[in-house]
Amino acid sequence: MARSRVPILIMGVVLWCCLTTPAKAEYMKYKDPKQPIPVRIQDLLDRMTLEEKIGQMVQIEREVASAEVMKEYFIGSVLSGGGSVPAPQASAETWINMVNDFQRGSLSTRLGIPMIYGIDSVHGNNNVYKATIFPHNIGLGASRDPELVKKIGAATALETRATGIPYAFAPCIAVCRDPRWGRCYESYSEDPQIVQDMTDIIPGLQGDIPTDSPKGVPFVAGKNNVVACSKHYVGDGGTTKGIDENNTVIDWQGLLSIHMPAYYTSIMKGVSTVMISYSSWNEIKMHTNRELITGFLKNTLGFKGFVISDWEGLDRITYPPHANYSYSIQAGIHAGIDMVMVPYNYKEFIDGLTFHVKNNVIPMSRIDDAVRRILRVKFVVGLFENPLADNSLVDQLGSQEHRELAREAVRKSLVLLKNGQSLNQPLLPLPKKTSKILVAGSHADDLGYQCGGWTMEWQGFNGNNRTIGTTILAAIKNTVDPITNVVYKENPNAEFVKSNNFSYAIVVVGEHPYAETDGDSMNLTIADPGPTTIRNVCGAMKCVVIIISGRPVVIEPYLASIDALVAAWLPGTEGQGVADVVFGDYGFTGKLPRTWFKTVDQLPMNVGDPHYDPLYPFGFGITTEPTTRQSDDNPFLSISSYFN
């Protein structure tokens, strides 16, 4: 009996050793940062199920996201729509905690593929409380300064990363050909060359692409940079009458020469993603245009990043939207869209796309192409090595350095359109030292109005309590001599103006905030009571009118009574930049990025058109030199106007 127990004892020891010795972990190439990215992509793709692949193609809104949803559906991306925040006045730390919570859900899946979070950082990290809000693109186009725009891109990247977000839906490289379009302020210019020059914002956002980088391959330098997104492909700024999401009627050569050049440049600079336009080209919805998305963007131009739809872009393939969603899924994915912004109805999209693949309507090769592109961007941005954000950049949000940069951008964006009733009697720059001045107008003391749309909310806001910044009124008070009495009255009547013995007046009026279709306008008028304010003030005394708007507006009826006219566009939070130039600490240097029409009946009208008869032509801008002049008695400086 004793002998028989020895083999049993030995077997027990062997079994115990097997159970207690850890098995050697499987080597997974996709987790090895030393492996080339194509090898990592292929290794991961080979391991993925159809369910996991389709999940990567889905981007959902943070309102419906959770760690559980990320894990269950293998969701590839989350976004914040305009105004979608984790809490009112949320801190950078609150944003980071939210993003990391979603990310932990993704990391807990079988393969641990990180999600990528995106946000509309279109003029700074503009959804976030205390962020620096830079001038909208139309103002930056007036600066004609690509190096400045690149710096703004780098600052925006830091402020976006400060909240734990690695993906910015910027830049908009539309060429707005009609100011009636509600997105015209998102366009740098009516001129394709200026828009092309301003793609320098991409290396600002993503980092400078190495000289030996293969053409079309996305590039992100590191943790201080973000994934950029050129949008909206293609022709979004050319729709008939400027109607948002409408039809752009233009031939192939016109599309290539006006609307496409900035995409060539974006790809050369390593842009990681491209967003598709809601609009159509010659009646073909861009979200279904395989010829332009797969044929031209991917195959001809060699774009290797991923193509993303716009918000519910597949729904809008049909009219009414979502009328035949099964068809929309098929048409959009077949066209070459890789990631679908399907904010709320993601389960329907997943089920629909799965059905199409299993029934051979959409080939697996198309799914693999989409996922390969998405994974490429995730590897490039370093998400597999650093999936969770930390607090190391929180002090970048609204930093003084960035606010000074924004202030510089405001100064360089201002365009002086009129200066005095005659060239030898200029009104600007204004003296800082005088007895009493009037500041009037609905936009003089309203941070929301001066920031415009896509600020804190999708449609923007009004008032001074939603974020941090300096209004133009506050800037004026900061700038004038302490003995100068600044009187503010939003809409004074003529009697008030005449009875107060003001030295001069500054009137700040313009458009109320708007975004996208809500901004479409067939009349382009200054918001009430702006015209009344101009008449009451400028009819009685020397006045400077500062226009806060996302585009040229009707001004000719009031021009004769206005002594000096400044186009300030949508300057953002740093209103001090306006006072810097108006009072002569810096000179006016901005040039019109688009034609200023006389009447809306002339529209569309762009430089080079045979019927070109503008109030102020493209490229116009009166220049002034800085001055230290402090009183009304000092002589005015000479000025000169110049064009492109």
The residues annotated as belonging to the active site are: 310, 516
Q: How far is it, in rounded angstroms, from Cα 613 to Cα 624?
A: 26
Q: How many CB atoms lie within 10 A of CB 422?
A: 7
Centroid of chain to Cα 577: 21
Task: Please report the DSSP string for 103-161 in residue order.
Answer: HHHHHTSSS-PPPEEEE--SSSSTTSTT---PPPHHHHHHHT-HHHHHHHHHHHHHHHH
H-assigned helices in 296-420:
325-335, 346-358, 364-380, 400-413
Q: How far is it, in rounded angstroms, from Cα 633 to Cα 636?
A: 9
How far the first Cα of the chain sits from its last, in Å, is: 106
The number of CA neighbours under 13 Å toward the Cβ of 572 is 34
Across the beta sheet with 284-285, the strand order is: 247-248, 280-281, 284-285
Buried b (16+ CB within 10 A) or exposed e, 506-531: bbbbbbbbbbbeebbbeebebbeebb
Centroid of chain to Cα 108: 32
Phi/psi for 94 (5° steps) reads: -65, -40
CA distances from 457 to 126, 135, 152, 453 (A): 9, 16, 21, 7
SS3 595: coil
For CA atoms 357, 363, 367, 370, the dihedral sign is negative
Closest to 116 measured CA to CA, from 313, 379, 307: 379
Q: How many CB atoms lie within 10 A of CB 252?
A: 10
Is 307 exposed, middle or buried, given 0-12, 13-18 or 19+ CB atoms closer than 10 A? buried
CA distances from 100 to 110, 386, 546 (A): 18, 11, 44
| In contact, 413 and 572? CB cutoff 8 Å | no
Q: Read off the tokens for 579.
A: 């006072």
CA distances from 101 to 131, 473, 511 (A): 22, 42, 40
Buried b (16+ CB within 10 A) or exposed e, 318-349: beeeeeebeebbbbbbbbbbbbbbbbebbeeb
Q: Read off the tokens for 310.
A: 């716009």
For CA atoms 259, 261, 264, 269, the dihedral sign is negative
- Radius of gyration (Cα) for the chain, nearest Å? 28
Contacts 24+ apart (CB under 8 A), 252-257: 255/281, 257/192
| In contact, 555 and 509? CB cutoff 8 Å | no
> Hey, which residues does 566 pair with through a beta bridge?
416, 546
